[in-house]
Homo-oligomer: A and B are copies of this chain.
Amino acid sequence: MHSKSTRPAVILLSGGLDSYTAAAMVRAQGFDLFALTVRYGQRHSVELEAARRVARALDVARHVELDVDLSAFGGSSLTSNDPVPKDRVIESTEIPSTYVPARNTVFLSLALGWAEVLGARDLVVGVNVLDYSGYPDCRPAFIAAFEDLASVATAAGVGGARFQIHAPLIQMSKAQIIRTGLSLGLDYGLTHSCYDPSPTGAPCRRCDSCVLRAAGFADAGAIDPLIGS
């Protein structure tokens, strides 16, 4: 136990299970959390409401929601009217249509800008390489390259500071993530994962994200509060 830290960290918070868990893990290390949620042209606001619930539960120092309409560029079923793929074989190494080009690069860049203003040297992101659906910007090589960029891109970096990107989930399975979160007392009923929820916000249970989440809870021997037993 130590007294209240004043180490700030900027966390990319989506409202999903992964970023909630990553945030809680970093908070447990003594960081004060500054949460950034980017509204990037999603077709539904359910995810944003989940981000607000999660930010409150995490008792963040500040929560900024920022609009960046990536649908202006097209190129992803998550930012267009293309159908979200269902019932896919997740083992496929093909990059799916839900990939949003350069999304994590854009999000981390925004987090970096805020971090520099705050005097923070720590960014947090809930990316994960094992259960991932083929997104290039969820891999360790991407995280390392962004750390290198951050130290030459900023006034702080020119001054000798080194930014650290915390990606505590990157080598964990979904079941490990869920077990870790439950051990930290997290309420996954606050989160939202589905790419294609019903108008009332209910998960479709067939998109990649729903399928990975269900398998994770099953492997962890836990019950998803969004689904029930």
Chain A interface residues toward B at CB < 8 A: 64, 66-70, 72-75, 95, 99-106, 108-110, 112-114, 116-117, 136-137, 139, 141-142, 145-146, 148-150, 152-155, 157-158
* Interchain CB contact under 8 A, A142 and B137: no
For the complex, give the distance between the alpha carbons of A153 and B158 in Å.
Answer: 23
Q: Which residues of B contact A70 (CB under 8 A)?
A: 113
- In the A-B complex, list the 6 residue pairs whose CB atoms are closest, starting with the nearest: A75-B117, A102-B113, A101-B116, A106-B109, A73-B114, A101-B113
- Using A102-B109, A104-B153, A141-B152 as known contacts, list a sample of 17 further A-B pairs with CB atoms less than 8 Å apart, ordered by residue number in A: A64-B73, A67-B68, A68-B68, A99-B155, A101-B112, A101-B116, A102-B110, A102-B112, A102-B116, A105-B112, A106-B106, A136-B155, A136-B157, A142-B153, A145-B145, A145-B149, A148-B148
For the complex, give the distance between the alpha carbons of A102 and B108 in Å.
Answer: 10
Q: Which residues of B contact A103 (CB under 8 A)?
A: 113
* Interchain CB contact under 8 A, B101 and A106: no
25 A–B contacts from the bound complex (CB under 8 Å): A64-B72, A66-B69, A68-B110, A70-B113, A73-B114, A74-B117, A75-B117, A95-B155, A101-B113, A101-B154, A101-B155, A102-B110, A102-B116, A105-B149, A106-B106, A106-B113, A109-B109, A136-B154, A136-B155, A137-B154, A142-B152, A145-B149, A145-B152, A145-B153, A148-B149
Q: Which residues of B contact A105 (CB under 8 A)?
A: 109, 112-113, 149-150, 153
Q: Which residues of B contact A95 (CB under 8 A)?
A: 155, 158
Q: Which residues of B contact A116 (CB under 8 A)?
A: 75, 101-102
Residue ID in chain B nearest A143 by CB atoms = B152
Q: Which residues of B contact A66 (CB under 8 A)?
A: 68-69, 72
Q: Which residues of B contact A104 (CB under 8 A)?
A: 153
- Tell me how far the C-beta of A133 lies from the nearest C-beta in chain B, rounded to whole angstroms: 12
The residue in A100, A101, A139 that gathers the most chain B C-beta atoms within 10 A of its C-beta is A101
Q: Which residues of B contact A152 (CB under 8 A)?
A: 136, 139, 141-142, 145
- Tell me how far the C-beta of A157 lies from the nearest C-beta in chain B, rounded to whole angstroms: 7
Residue ID in chain B nearest A113 by CB atoms = B102
For the complex, give the distance between the alpha carbons of A104 and B150 in Å.
Answer: 11
